[in-house]
Amino acid sequence: MPATPRPVLLDCDPGTDDAVALWLALAAPGIDLQLVTVAGGNVGLERTLPNARAVLGLAGAGVPVVAGADRPLVGRFRSETRVHGMDGLGGVTLPEGPPATPGLAADAIRARLRAAAAESVTLVGLGPATNLALALAAEPDLAGRVAEIVLMTGAVGEGNWSSAAEFNAAMDPEALAILLACGRPVTLATLDLTAQALVTPARVAALRAVSGGGRCLAAAVEILAAIPPSRRFEHRGVPLHDPCAVMWLVAPELFTHRAVTASVVLDGADRGRTRIDRWGRDGAPANARLLEGLDAEGFFAALGMMLKELK
């Protein structure tokens, strides 16, 4: 794990797996979580914002939470309640969290970047990339303050929103295109990677058995237990998408990766599909790091050990 915690601005759309990722970001010793911004995504902004507030409130965290985009840059908003439930947290009720910080997410991101040193801040995106893209599109020079952009988005193979597209990429492909073209290092945790972090009944039971945990670990276990098993995995379990992006920051040894050229399709039947050139066949320079392999047992062990530190 990094010796010095890295400053992190985290954009999300809670969302069951976002909730676990937020608790992981708060618990991980390698992360200094400075700002949480929220978009509509898994459910509408009217739910994702109170969900983010509740998740941070349960942990007793004083991190500012700022509301952002309730729709993509182009087109209309669509949610994914089949996985996350109408409330976004699989029906698990958390106490109401502290009020949101006034303002707009893109403005809050820009303010934090303006105050930062060059290449010092890590941006983490766990939902549609709208808020991050708005910030960097409005003030492109601020990209120079960004050390790395880590996104849970895209797929090398089959999508989960359509046969071609992963949900986050499909919800705002124009925003994703802006981040891929911003000139800063981008790390992608795609569906192909997160499929290796499969939440099974046995893994839920192992997390439930972790001793010394507090209410955040208990709530995370209840949320994971509430997510319906995926038909894509023959109902054996469900991928734990968003925590993979956060875990990369603190335990990169759990991952294998390679440099790739990544782009996103903006129109036609394949809108939202990510095109990942792993072998340089297109002749374009690499613009992203693709996380390819995951030590799943190590991942879930680290997740339990870190979440138990939140009381």
* Structure token pair of residue 180: 């891929």
The Cα–Cα gap between 14 and 83 comes to 12
Q: Are the CB atoms for 14 and 48 separated by under 8 Å?
A: yes
The Cα–Cα gap between 278 and 287 comes to 11
What residues contact 127, with CB distance under 8 A and at least 6 apart? 11, 12, 13, 15, 18, 39, 41, 42, 48, 168, 171
The Cα–Cα gap between 148 and 164 comes to 26
Asked if the bond preceding 68 is cis, omega within 30° of 0, the reply is no
* Structure token pair of residue 267: 């129109």
Strand partners, 198: 239
The Cα–Cα gap between 209 and 206 comes to 5
Question: What is the three-class DSSP state of 71?
Answer: coil
Kindly name the residue from 84, 235, 241, 257 that is annotated as catalytic.
Answer: 241
Question: What is the three-class DSSP state of 297?
Answer: helix
The Cα–Cα gap between 198 and 228 comes to 12
235 catalytic residue (yes or no):
no
Catalytic annotation, residues? 241
